[in-house]
Amino acid sequence: MKKALIVIDMQNDYFKGGAMSLVGIDEALQKANQLIKHAKESNDKIFIIEHIATKNEATFFLLNTDGVKLHKDLDTTRTTIIQKHFPNSFRGTSLQEELKKENISELVICGAMTHMCVDTTVRAAFDLGYNITLISDACATKNLEFGDKVINAQDVYESFMASLDGVFCKIVNTKEFCHE
């Protein structure tokens, strides 16, 4: 099976000082770079997904801002960068076409936010018939609010990992994946 790594939304707005800083994003970036290195060594295709906000009410990933740019420490050499405008990395992008062109059937996914773009992309990839591995320690999220309750980022992260694991994808950490 041909494999591709998909790294989702490692952009400045998700880091300290950005418009939507996430819990665990620095570690997720470090792990994403380890996965990129591993993918290069394995001659796997690498796709970097970059979100560009298009809605008028958007508060981050705004065009022509520093926040929308990919983080300077993300290794983008020998990768294909695909821009998206929705949480699903397939919707309105060339991702599916690129994967088909390369005869890729297995996806390795990581990035941000766990509860939004990562979740949506994993579920879409599942619906498209891909075999998916989600790298747990290369993902990051944030605290969420529901009603008058704040749900801390760790609980959000664990809930989404638990809901995806087994049915939609296999979940492992970076060390487990790179030493398979």
State pLDDT tens for residues 45-71: 999 999 999 998 999 999 999 999 999
pLDDT at 1: 75
Tokens found for residue 119: 């979740």
Q: What is the mean pLDDT of the chain?
A: 97
pLDDT at 119: 98
Phi-psi region of 59 (alpha: psi -120 to 50; beta: other; left: phi over 0): alpha
Q: Which domains does the chain have, with CATH numbers?
A: 2-178 (3.40.50.850)
- Averaged pLDDT, 123-149: 98
> Containing H/E element for 145?
strand 144-146
Nearest to 75 by CA among 21, 114, 38: 38
Answer whether residue 180 shows pLDDT above 70: no
pLDDT at 179: 87
CB 59 within 8 A of CB 3: no
- Averaged pLDDT, 11-26: 98
Tokens found for residue 66: 């520093």
Strand order in the sheet with 45-51: 80-84, 45-51, 2-8, 104-112, 131-140, 170-172
- Averaged pLDDT, 9-17: 98
For residue range 72-112, what is the model confidence (pLDDT) as tens digits?
999 999 999 999 999 999 999 999 999 999 999 999 999 99
pLDDT at 105: 98
Nearest to 32 by CA among 177, 180, 179: 177
